[in-house]
Amino acid sequence: MATVLLLAVTLAVGGILGSWFVSMSRTEMGSVTKKMTEQINCTGSLEIVDVTCNTTADEIKVVVQNIASDVELYDFSTFILINNIPYTNSTGGPNSTSTLSSGEQTILTYGCDSTSCPENATVNKVRVSPGNCPKGWLERDVGITCVI
């Protein structure tokens, strides 16, 4: 009798744990699938349309476009190489409450002073990365001159 009771308890516990493991696996699989889909969709989601440097206005403008079909981009950070000196900024553009939707463009405007953006300085390279799609970054060699 004890053997039968032990076997019944073991099967009951096994059934409960088995059900819990299946449920947990499905939840984790759904989470992993969502993250993988976001990462795949983020690849190639951004285009740098234009870069300008204006020393009179003390600003660099980077025009970006969301070319992804099903992901919204926001919280951009930018790496800019000016006269081969790196500058970074992470405070530009759309945020999580006002995103850059598919097909839309926005202008990321960053301040720069006469030290970082002197007249006739060369903007060598620009790299833009959306915060919600870190693997969706794009880097472009630009070679433009800062003008008055």
What confidence tens digit (pLDDT) does each residue in 63-111 have?
999 998 888 899 999 999 999 989 888 777 898 899 999 999 999 998 8
| CATH, residue 104 | 2.60.40
In this structure, the answer to whether residues 38 and 72 fall within a common structural domain is: no
User: What letter does residue 103 receive in the DSSP assignment?
Assistant: T
Domain hosting 18: range is: 1-42
Q: Are 76 and 83 in contact (CB under 8 A)?
A: no
Q: Who wins on pLDDT, 124 or 148?
A: 124
Tokens of 78: 């930018």
pLDDT greater than 80 at residue 22: no
Q: Are strands 122-130 and 46-54 parallel, antiparallel or unpaired?
A: unpaired
In this structure, the answer to whether residues 63 and 127 fall within a common structural domain is: yes
In this structure, the answer to whether residues 34 and 85 fall within a common structural domain is: no
In this structure, the answer to whether residues 130 and 99 fall within a common structural domain is: yes
In this structure, the answer to whether residues 62 and 7 fall within a common structural domain is: no
In this structure, the answer to whether residues 28 and 87 fall within a common structural domain is: no
Name the burial class of residue 121, with classes exposed (0-12), middle (13-18) and buried (19+) by CB atoms within 10 angstroms of its CB: buried
Q: With bands split at pLDDT 50, 70 and 90, how would you rate the model's confidence at 36?
A: low
Q: Residue 143 and residue 140: Cα distance in Å, rounded?
A: 9
Tokens of 94: 């759309």
Q: What is the pTM of this model?
A: 0.71
In this structure, the answer to whether residues 127 and 68 fall within a common structural domain is: yes
